[in-house]
Chain A
């Protein structure tokens, strides 16, 4: 069976330049021959040290960065066979840093209706009516715990957690098959974390949304993911069913992570 989304043998290097002639100061191998397959309805958790390449992998899957080696496949066909609009319906990403992903000049309403409109064009061949888009934007906002009042706000008028939720709503607006969520709830307080995690589980159950969740918080990945991948220095060092990895971690990093979780959360 071919997988929905596959990363095959992906390598990515970044070069750091400096000085007068922009000489190369060094190269970082952010990803070193990483292979990953997501089947429809999968929910995979990606954990690993800061700098281990998680966001880089996410951006490659979303089509925002191109790999230096290896390829990305959708239903067995290379990413290059699809248009940008098609890919937007395949994979959407929630960014680790929400404010840099929200255009400061647009209101929340515009941010959401743009994404909704793209979805209507893709699924129905034409854009949604103003009324439909407005209603849908309101529904999306309330699903992430924000009142429709925020439709009129600009990003700078929102608190950190409110921005993060607008970013989540916008990613969901496109109704992607795969959602890559990079630290989706780390900026949110616990009661809203719970609401977002429950929402993602509902979408997974109802629409068999495929999830790749990046988090440094084992409680979050343990809650959402069936399968866990642990990365270190650009490569996966441990992989398996979430329960197995959490109950009997094999890699040192996974063990250290688990041991460091404060007792009253475990």
Chain B
């Protein structure tokens, strides 16, 4: 099935200033999110997932970050060149984000009800407590009337996360960016939330960019999977295909380190080494010092993201010298 593209990111480069020095955080990332599609973004802590997500909303910290190159198109318009009015409509409803850190994105002095109502009012022009309560019910919160009159600090971690989700879907966005939205929720609630998002994709024609390290969650719902390492996209493709036969040695390591439920008595397998510091990214493929399959070209050349698979419209791509084929 081919769908129209909703977000298209082209060769994006982003730097942060750390201790007075500019360091690369996102490099040459190209990426597409189509209508009604759910794409998952995974990768080690610090590889740039949140940074990439924030850039779509132009929410990067102003003086500490710089977009060095590339384009971000949302529904055909260039986000990086958008005027304040355009940005306001983007942030005020067309794109919603569930932030990784629910505490710092909720207002501590307003009750949950007041906050969700505010979002609804912006969107629909009227206050409607009944709709707020039904939204709270939709995100599987028990006892919605109590939650409605609670302040954020009076909620448990999982309750707060669901309030964030309710706020994000209140404006019926075209794009929902969900940054680790269910880390505080158990599998049963996670499933219900993902069911809800899947339904909303159809009802509203919504697309979802899901940032998560939870491969179980990814496996069941998302259409495509993108893997980042040290600021670059290293593999992407249909979710089931990537999980079943990961090509990049990094993706393989990521899948192997999944803790299983039964304890084996031994230590968990780990990827050896650490992800590189931003100020000291290795030459060539940034993963090469940790890679078991390293060979001559790895430390010299940055492997481009190459299309894999036989069919021309295959989505699979990998950036690794082990794989030949034409650059995509």
Contact = CB atoms under 8 A, between A and B. Distances in A.
A216 B162 CA distance: 15
A260 B255 CA distance: 19
B260 A265 contact: yes
Given A55-B156, A256-B188, A222 B261 contact: yes
Interface string B90-110: 000000000011111000000
Contact of A159 (B46, B146, B270): B46
B277 A149 contact: yes
Size category, B interface:
35 or more
A16 B149 contact: yes
B322 interface: no
B241 interface: no
Interface stretch (A34-42, A118-126, A169-177, A183-191): A183-191
B134 interface: no
Interface string A199-238: 0010000000000000011111011000000000000000
B195 to A, nearest CB: 12
B304 interface: no
A195 to B, nearest CB: 6
Given A50-B157, A147-B274, A256-B188, A223 B268 contact: yes
A55 B154 CA distance: 12
Contact of B259 (A100, A152, A194): A194
Contacts of A242: 263
The interface residues of chain A, by DSSP majority, are classed as helix
A51 B159 contact: yes
B184 interface: yes
A260 B180 contact: no
A123 to B, nearest CB: 29
Given A189-B254, A261-B187, A246 B262 contact: yes
14 contacts: A16-B146, A18-B149, A47-B186, A50-B185, A51-B158, A55-B157, A97-B103, A161-B46, A186-B184, A190-B258, A191-B253, A216-B184, A257-B186, A264-B219
Interface of B: 16, 18-19, 42-46, 50, 61, 64, 100-104, 111, 142, 146, 149-150, 154, 156-159, 162, 179-180, 183-189, 191, 213, 215-216, 219-220, 243, 253-255, 257-263, 267-271, 274, 277, 279
